[in-house]
Every structure is written in C-alpha cells, then in structure tokens.
Amino acid sequence: MDYFSIAAILTVLSAVFGYINVRFLKLPITIGLMIITIVFTLVVVAIGQFDDALLVREKELISQIDFKTVLLDIMLSFLLFAGALHTNFAQLKVQRWPVFVFATLGVLMSTFLVGIIMFYVLQLVGLQVDFIYCLLFGALISPTDPIAVLGILKKAGAPKKLETKIVGESLFNDGVGVVVFLTIFNIASSSSGDVELMEIVKLFGVEVIGGILLGAILGWITYRMMRSIDDYEIEVIITIAAVMGGTHVAQNLHMSAPLAMVTAGLIVGNDTVRNAAMSKITEMYVDKFWELIDVLLNTILFVMIGMEMLVLTFEGSYIIAGLLGIPIVLLARFVSLWGPIKFFDKKLEFVPNTNIIMTWGGLRGGISIALALSLTQEMHKELFLVITYIIVAFSIIGQGLTVEPIVKKLTKQKP
C-alpha cells in the first residue's frame, strides 16, 4: 500500500470517528477518538473470527506505518509548535524555574523510581528482566505527552498558573525524556554495558542546549521576516517553513527538534512579537491555521494509537504487569514532583493540591508508544509495548475523563 493510500485511509477514519465523537459522544477529541478507535478495532477483531478479510487489511495497514518515525520525526514538530504558539508566554516566564525543574530533575527521578520498582514487580509476576531494560522503560514512560495534555486541559478549567505549569512541563519534558531514553538506550546497546560520562554530557548538551538555541534562532528569524512584510498568506507559509526547515536542520545536526520547535513557537507566539510583527488579520490566520493543523494531526495520531493494539502480544503476565504499572507510574510522578513543589510553593503561591492535580493531569500518550516501538527484541519489546499501551490507554481515557472534575474539586478556594 502506497503512502497516499495510507494517509487517505487514516484521514477518512479520523473524519468519520471525529464526526461520531462530536455528534454523539461529545468528549475531548483525544479521549473520544481513542475510545472509538479501540471499539472499532475490537469489532474488527470480533468480525475476524468469522471473516478475517477486514482484520487482515487493518493489520496490513498498521504494519506498514512506522509509528516512531511518523510521530517523532514528522508530526511531533508540528504539534509542539502549534501548542507552544498558543501558550501564555508571560505566565510561563513567571513559572520558568519550576517548569525547568519538573522537566529535567522530575523526569530523571521518575525514570529511576519507575525502573527500580518495575524491576522487582516484574520478578513477582514471573518475568526476569535486566535492570537496565526496566530503567529504559522508566525513561520512555516518565515524560508526559504535550499532545494529550493540551487537548484535554483546554476543557478542564484549571487555574491559569496551574495550567501553565502542566502545559509548560509537558512541552519541554518530552524533549528531555527522549534524550534520557537515548542515553540509557545507548548504554543498554553497548557490548560493554558502559558509556563514557563525557559522551552522555555531549549528547545532553547537543540535544538539549543545541535544540533550544536552534529554536531561538529560528524564532528570531521568523519574527524578523514577518515584521518586515504585511501579507498574511506569506507569513503563514513562513511559519510552516520554520517548522519544516528547522526540524530538518535539527535532525541533521543531531539536536532535539521537539525542543527547537517549542522554543520557536514560544517566541513567535508571545504577545510582544505578535504586536510587533503581525497585523490583526495575520494573527487570526496564523492562529486558525495552526489550530487546524493541531486538530487534524491529533485526530490522525489518536486513531493510530487506538489501532496499534492489533500488533500487541496480550499474554496474561504482560497484562498483569501493565495493570500494576499504572499505580507505579503515578506514584513515581507524585514523588518526583513533591520536592520541587515544596521548594517553589511559597515563592510562587501554588494553587491548592498542585501535586495531586499535576500527577493526575500528567497524561502519557503517543510519545511513550513510539519510544517503546523503537526497543529491540532483546530489550523485551513485546512486554514493554503491552505495558506502555495499557498505561497510555488508562492515562488518556481514565485520567482524561476524570481530570476536569478533579481539577474543579481540588482548586476550590474556601470562602
């Protein structure tokens, strides 16, 4: 099946499922599409017990999609730029230090906590897995997914200060999380099982710092070009070029394209640049274009996530490990956030129950699945893919459906 046919089928399914969600379910798009696609896939599997023609075609479609490449190398840059473009830059600037600590130290602590606990839990269910591979799982599951978080928090009604922390953290911690994952992946892949400290420092420096610097340069160039003209059509194209060209440059220089796109989006989207570089009509078209891109790619992404269950190996011990992984991941996130929140609480006046809300509102999504798909068979790919899928499904559906009432209940101020 050629690329156009795959894209056409995914787009048609996204449109149909999106229509069903808006017309009948009326759920946030990420949750609605996930539920509808999983139900659709289960129906196809049930029908396949009598006539497997449709099931074979769906499996063929999924097997031909390189989920990791499509998400991490293509879609993620567009989605992160769109998300950063509409993030409150002024509020993020105020919250920059807690966001920075959440996205770095928080991810590292969560990685080790999940890895250590899962190592012993897997032994309890009869699965012997080396510690380094459990640590690798901790790295891929610890970052929260900005795509899932942004889509659901829009309707949750969280206080702006709290929303900025969750969204800001999720925009940056996936880039950091990918670097942590790659570092542990290189150690796990090394024949000696060891990697020089300077190699880790260099990887972190080039990927993280290099990505942010590249994004700052891209944002500045985009701003200068948009400021020098007044033509909304060309200005929208300039933003597209910044994302596509910047992603290509970042990938070739081995810098973090996600961090570059977040930085560029924050610069182009902040009020100062908007007022100086965009007319009202340009601002409207830029915003509407990127909102549409965000919705389109989100619908396709969560249809793909729902359909990925067809390629999983659902063994009993894998399912048990996945179900046990849900509270482990939530506990690790709660503990990793506790210290930074206590440290910054008095200075920045956090809203009540920030830790609980950030723990429950920190959703996992496609990024974790994409990283799990990049594991080798030696790294227990099938096992960790099932565990990851169960955690992601619970995160998007279970946490996503309940985050709004939890936010409203826990942020009520006493009279």
* pLDDT tens digit sequence for 234-271: 999 999 999 999 999 999 998 999 999 999 999 999 98
Instruction: Confirm if 13 and 303 have CB atoms less than 8 A apart.
Output: yes
Write down the architecture of domain 67-410 according to CATH: Up-down Bundle (1.20)
Instruction: Confirm if 372 and 381 have CB atoms less than 8 A apart.
Output: yes
The pLDDT of residue 192 is 55
Domain boundary assignment for the chain: 3-63, 67-410
Instruction: Confirm if 30 and 396 have CB atoms less than 8 A apart.
Output: yes
Least confident of 46-55, 71-80, 193-202: 193-202
For residue 93, pLDDT beyond 60: yes
DSSP state of 350: P
Confidence of residue 415 (pLDDT cuts 50, 70, 90): very low
Average pLDDT, the chain: 90
Q: Encoding tokens for residue 107?
A: 């991810």
Higher per-residue pLDDT: 136 or 90: 136
Find, among 14, 8, 6, the residue nearest to 297 by Cα: 14
* pLDDT tens digit sequence for 267-280: 999 988 999 999 99
* pLDDT tens digit sequence for 182-200: 889 988 887 555 667 777 7
* pLDDT tens digit sequence for 355-384: 999 999 899 989 999 999 999 999 999 999
The pLDDT of residue 349 is 78
Q: How many CB atoms lie within 10 A of CB 408?
A: 12
Instruction: Confirm if 388 and 323 have CB atoms less than 8 A apart.
Output: no
Q: Encoding tokens for residue 156?
A: 């949750």
The pLDDT of residue 155 is 67
DSSP letter string, 89-131: HHHHHHTHHHHHHIIIIIHHHHHHHHHHHHHHHHHHTT----H
For residue 412, pLDDT beyond 80: no
The residue-averaged pLDDT of 115-142 equals 96
48 phi/psi in degrees, rounded to 5: -65, -15
Higher per-residue pLDDT: 95 or 147: 95
